[in-house]
Each structure stands twice: as C-alpha cells, then as structure tokens.
Amino acid sequence: MVAIRNIPTLDDRREISTGQRDEFRDNGHLLVRGLLSAEEIGVYRGIILEAVKKQGRDRRRLPERGIYGRKFGQMVNLWRVDEGVRRYVLSGRLARVAADLLGVSGVRIYHDHALLKDAGGRATYWHQDQYYWPLDTADTVTMAMPMVDQSIEMGMFVFASGSHKNGTFWDPKLSVEPDSAYRKYIRENHFPLSYAAGMRAGDATWHYGNTVHHTMANDSDRRREMMTITYMADGARVAKPVHKAQVHELNAWLMGLPPGRLVASELNPLIK
C-alpha cells in the first residue's frame, strides 16, 4: 500500500495546443501522449488495482454502483471509497485538459470507471455515451487512460470521426438492435474509423459523449487495464429522462436530482 504522502500530485497544468483543440472538435476524439509519466501511472495503477480488488471482495453494495458493480472487471466511482483513487480522479491536471478541450471554465465529474478486460475479452458494441445521460448539455468528454502499455491486439477504442456533430442518434423506439443501427449509421454517413496504433501507460484518448465508438476484443494474452473519467461542463443541468436507462443513470450518478436542477450533487464535484 502506498502512503498518501508518497502519492504523486497531479495538479500542474498540461497545455493543449490550438491544433489539438481543433482536432478534437472536428473529429470528436483526440489522443494525448504522456499525460502521466511512467512513474506516476505506475503508482496510480497499483492504487487503482488494489481498490478494485478490495471492492470486489466487499459484499456490500455502494448505493451508486448500479449496473456496473463487479461486472466484467468494471468498477465505478472508486474515488468515493479510496483516497488514492480520489487524488487521481479529482486531479487538476486531467480536469484542466477536459475543460480546455470543451472550451469551458470548469468541469464536474460524472463518474469514473475502472475497466479491466481479460485476455480473450469480447469487443463492445457501437454506442454513444450521451444517449444514457440525462443532461441538458453535449459538453461532455470521457478520458480513457491505459495503466499498462497497450497494443492494438489488447482492444483499442475505435472512433467514428465526426459522428458527434449530428448529436445523439439512437432512438429507443427503433426496433433494430443498437449495434446494427450504429453500424448502418456509420456506413451511410461515411464516418472514417480511427484508433491508435499503440498507447503507452499514461497516454489518454478523449472523446465527446456523442462520438460513436466501441472497443475491440482483447486478442492478446494480457489483461487490458484502463481507467476512464467522464467530465461535464460546470453549469450543466439535469434533463428529464426520456427512457429507462436515463432513469437509472439519474438515480445512480446524479443522486436523483429533479429536472432543471444544476448538476452539483456530492457525486459531481467541481474540480478546481
């Protein structure tokens, strides 16, 4: 166990260039290299994996764990139960990148998400994160950071470039399966597909909530270890849920705040 005093602080500013901002806003996703050093991600990897292990042993359910609890190596809102993870998730360095990319003065946490995909793990379906979120803003962004060096074979995020510009596509009234509908949507709109050729531990991809994406299968013999953080612009308000998944999200991650209320619950701190 790493003593709190020995955990690296991540409160310095990492500048995002105008070119990177433009790329993100045009494509809907961006790869940023070296956001954490090898030493920093090494320390935080140990902290995050220990927190995942501890929560996996804990039979008590966190009230906000919801559908993600202990499923496929996934853990959500570890920052709520571990001080070391809290320092990572609420770090100023990462939050300022999120704010710079969105072009806003400040961001709040929607949730964190530890994703561990074992060797042989299947690909995820195509989707847009924003579809699930009862928010009145599209100024949302998710960071995905591998905690170990990651090759293509380990299951990269794949993004449909430019797909965020059309807003949220999926309609719950549609009768076809979402994955099939998104594949057709990508083909019909000729969205180019993009993914990193490789990532080092401490690199990170960033994507808008409305960017259509999925993750590849893990065809390697190693576990893919990744930590994600989803941010939203400060000042976002709760939207009225329009389907069952948004009702769940409202109760799990926004503490059941009524529509129209500022998203400012204790689960959604402003990062300064």
Place of tokens 């809290």: 86
More confident residue, 162 or 4: 162
Which pLDDT score is estimated for 247? 96
Look at residue 3 and tell me if it is in a domain. no
Helix locations, the chain, DSSP H = 18-27, 38-57, 83-89, 92-102, 178-189, 244-253
Look at residue 208 and tell me if it is in a domain. yes
Look at residue 259 and tell me if it is in a domain. no
Look at residue 218 and tell me if it is in a domain. yes
Look at residue 9 and tell me if it is in a domain. no
d(CA 177, CA 90): 36
**Total structural domains within the chain:** 1
pTM to 2 decimal places: 0.93
**DSSP assignment string, 34-59:** -SS-HHHHHHHHHHHHHHHHHHHH--
Supply the CATH number for residue 29's domain. Answer: 2.60.120.620
**pLDDT tens track for 84-117:** 999 999 999 999 999 999 999 999 999 999 999 9
Which pLDDT score is estimated for 3? 64
Look at residue 216 and tell me if it is in a domain. yes
Which pLDDT score is estimated for 55? 87
Mean pLDDT estimate for the chain:
92
Structural domain range at position 226: 18-253
**pLDDT tens track for 166-200:** 999 987 776 667 899 999 999 999 999 999 999 99
- In the predicted model, is pLDDT for residue 149 greater than 70? yes
d(CA 44, CA 237): 32
Look at residue 269 and tell me if it is in a domain. no
d(CA 226, CA 228): 7
The mean per-residue pLDDT over the stretch 58-86 comes to 66
Look at residue 54 and tell me if it is in a domain. yes
**Could you give the percent of the chain with pLDDT greater than 90?**
86
Q: Which of 242, 161, 177, 168 is nearest to 209 (CA)?
A: 168
- In the predicted model, is pLDDT for residue 53 greater than 80? yes
Q: Which of 95, 107, 100, 93 is nearest to 41 (CA)?
A: 93
Is there a contact between 226 and 113 (Cβ–Cβ < 8 Å)?
A: no
